Amino acid sequence: MSSSLLLSGSAVSSSFIAPSKLSFVRNFNKSLLPFPNVSRSLKSVRCAVDSPYGGNVPTFPRTRVWDPYKRLGISPYASEEEIWASRNFLLQQYAGHERSEESIEGAFEKLLMSSFIRRKKTKINLKTRLKKKVDESPPWLKALLDFVEMPPMDTIFRRLFLFAFMAGWSIMNSAEGGPAFQVAVSLGACVYFLNEKTKSLGRACIIGIGALVAGWICGSIIVPMIPTFLIHPTWTLELLTSLVAYVFLFLSCTFLK
């Protein structure tokens, strides 16, 4: 209080201050004239106290917006990449203001949670629909599905790569000879994979040989129906039939129980 009176002593009315005190204030102000740095420091302290908290940090204008999409400034149909991009841009623009950052993060977390719940419901609905279809299927189809299983995706891709490699190897060596060796290796791999699942070598051999015979018979029936202009000149009937047999071996060792 005394410092403000000293800085503004010339503007204070004499009716409120005694003449002796008023002359003292004027004399004190005059004594500060040779020291301008002191006067500036006092004024800067007063300005710093009167300035609002946070300085020039910008404030997020949509902190009170309830809709998280509108708060982040994106469309309700925005993708997950657009949501992340909007969140990162706003956090960078309003960095340093705690309330703004909390508002942006809150809207972002709401959108992530709603997206997770939506994906979870979709998976549950898909499983429910598939189970309902299976329950409503004929008895013979139910009995057939009892022999089928869905392995992990990495298992499917590994075995698919193996049999695709065998098929490519057979095609590359088609001009030199038949694919007898590649078919034998594929049959051995099929029996090995089936033995891992069934824990019965005899059953694995029966299923593997049955898949090979079924694939060879189907190939012998289907391949002659293919127009000749679609077939490479070096591709023989034996080679094309073996390609069909690879498909049957892959399906039997991957999806059969």
What whole-number distance in Å separates Cα of residue 105 and Cα of residue 72? 10
3-state secondary structure of 98: helix
**Nearest alpha carbon to residue 26 among 7, 10, 4, 43:** 10
pLDDT of residue 206: 93
Instruction: Compute the C-alpha angle 141/144/145, nearest 5°.
Output: 85
Region of 35 (left: φ > 0; alpha: ψ -120 to 50; beta: rest) is beta
Q: Which long-range contacts (CB under 8 A, 24 or more apart) does 247-251 make?
A: 247/163, 247/215, 248/211, 248/212, 248/214, 248/215, 248/218, 249/163, 249/186, 249/187, 249/189, 249/190, 249/208, 249/211, 249/212, 249/215, 250/159, 250/160, 250/163, 250/190, 251/211
pLDDT of residue 216: 93
159 within 8 A of 219, measured Cβ to Cβ? no
Record the tokens describing residue 65, joined without a space.
């917006």
What whole-number distance in Å separates Cα of residue 241 and Cα of residue 244? 5
Cα distances from 7 to residues 26, 47, 230, in angstroms, run: 10, 13, 100
What whole-number distance in Å separates Cα of residue 242 and Cα of residue 222? 12
242 within 8 A of 179, measured Cβ to Cβ? yes
148 bridge partner residues: 256
pLDDT of residue 6: 35
pLDDT of residue 221: 92
What whole-number distance in Å separates Cα of residue 54 and Cα of residue 51? 9
Record the tokens describing residue 102, joined without a space.
């909390």
pLDDT of residue 16: 39
163 within 8 A of 249, measured Cβ to Cβ? yes
pLDDT of residue 141: 65
pLDDT of residue 32: 42
pLDDT of residue 190: 94
- The domains found in the chain, sorted by start residue, are 68-134 (1.10.287), 148-255 (no CATH)
**Mean pLDDT by 10-residue block, N- to C-terminus, for the chain (257 residues)?**
39 42 44 44 38 62 87 86 89 87 89 81 64 68 72 90 93 78 93 91 92 93 87 85 94 89
Neighbours of 48 (CB within 10 A): 9
pLDDT of residue 227: 86
183 within 8 A of 213, measured Cβ to Cβ? no
Q: pTM for the complete prediction?
A: 0.48
